[in-house]
Amino acid sequence: MTDSPGAEHRLLTKGLEEEVYTGTLDADPVPLSHQIAADLSGFVTEPDARNVEYTTDPYRSYQVLLDRLMAKRCQLRRYLVRVGDYTLIPGSTLSLEESDEFVISNPNNPYYRFIRDTYGTTVVTASTHINVGIPEPDALIAAYRLLRAEASMYLALTANSPFLRGQPTGAHSNRWLVFPQTPTDIPFFTNHDHFRKWVSEQIESGAMFNARHLWLSIRPNGDATPNKIERLELRICDRISQPRILAAVIALFEARIWQVLESLERGDRDLDPLAFRGDRELQEICLRNERRVAESSLDATITDWRTGDDLPMREWVEACWRGCLPTARAHGFEERLAPIGEILADGNLAQQWLAQVAAGLSPREVLRRSIVDLTEIDRQYDPDCPSPLPPDKT
């Protein structure tokens, strides 16, 4: 799929951060990030050496964005085969790891030591962070308020961390169920000045180690945050391994942001959660929704921030998706939203994997199959991506 001709000027800039585990074809993680970061430009360590991060520059075009991400992903795949016949391991938790040991990638980094000593392996997770550029700071904060109120929807679409220690945990996103929101009380900021002052106070008090130590489902961000912010970072998603699904999630995110920006132009507050409820109540609704969705994803019952009523997550996603189609059409990316319907029909990866376990497979067998399946999806973008099986078996 290519972008609609002439659509690029109607699109916001988008950049990606992808975290992924590295390891064996048997789905066991291997700590390689320090070696990868030393050998490959554009790859950086995470605090634990079993996962590595790479990013894209921001692009308006969906196709260019996906192409750049897949180029990085396949570059990593080729490197892993070259150094030891390793691969990328699906999922967003250390699914099969029996030990609670934190394998620190750089003991000389004080932030990494702080994370290890404070949180342990609860934060050794893999995810996809989606950054969308919004140049006007107060408009960015307005988008933050709406998308934070709806962030659980994006987790429901992407959950894929149902295993820990080789067994189903009972949750669909164990990653988000245990990930510590930090600080524990984070406001629905009223404007950029409120955000800037609040972050500075948290750092001064010690509640945050630095400006990056703001861990929640979505956050205002920028190269000089909190003083300068220019992008909204969606952090709640489990790692999105399938490019078509990734594009659909980005498209839903972008369409919703456009709806906020256009409502601001009209001067209305129909998409401002603070026009409907107080800050404390909104925080409670979000935390409750995120916990329920981490447990049951698309099968969860959540609370609508606007009405206060409970409803099935699938109905909420369906309504939001269909409500975004006209906006996406106006900006030239309506076709990118189509896979949302497929997820609603087929389930997310966590639900598909758990169905395979219910049919008799072990979590290790599920992950082995997924390693093959996801590699073949990557090879559709780059045929030079190494296959995890000998050529006569692929």
* CA-based torsion, 69, 73, 75, 76: positive or negative: positive
How far apart CA 283 and CA 235 sit, in angstroms, is 17
pLDDT the model gives residue 391? 41
How far apart CA 84 and CA 271 sit, in angstroms, is 51
**Tokens, residue 21:** 């585990």
Indicate the residue type of 379: R
- Cβ-based neighbour number of residue 51 at 10 Å: 29
Domain ranges of the chain: 8-393
Choose among 198, 152, 142, 194: nearest CA to 177.
152
**Tokens, residue 42:** 């554009």
- Name the helix (H) or strand (E) containing 35: helix 33-39
Partners of 224 in the β-ladder = 228
pLDDT the model gives residue 5? 61
How far apart CA 329 and CA 323 sit, in angstroms, is 11
Show Cβ contacts of residue 233 under 8 Å, excluding neighbours closer than 6 positions.
129, 130, 131, 218, 219, 220, 221
Place of tokens 């401002």: 272
Indicate the residue type of 177: L
Query: May I ask the CATH class of domain 8-393?
Result: alpha beta
How far apart CA 224 and CA 115 sit, in angstroms, is 22
Indicate the residue type of 173: S
pLDDT the model gives residue 383? 86
List, run by run, the mean pLDDT of 10-residue segments along the chain (394 residues): 67 98 96 97 96 97 96 96 95 95 95 95 96 98 98 98 97 96 96 98 96 95 96 98 97 98 96 97 98 98 96 98 97 97 97 98 98 93 77 42
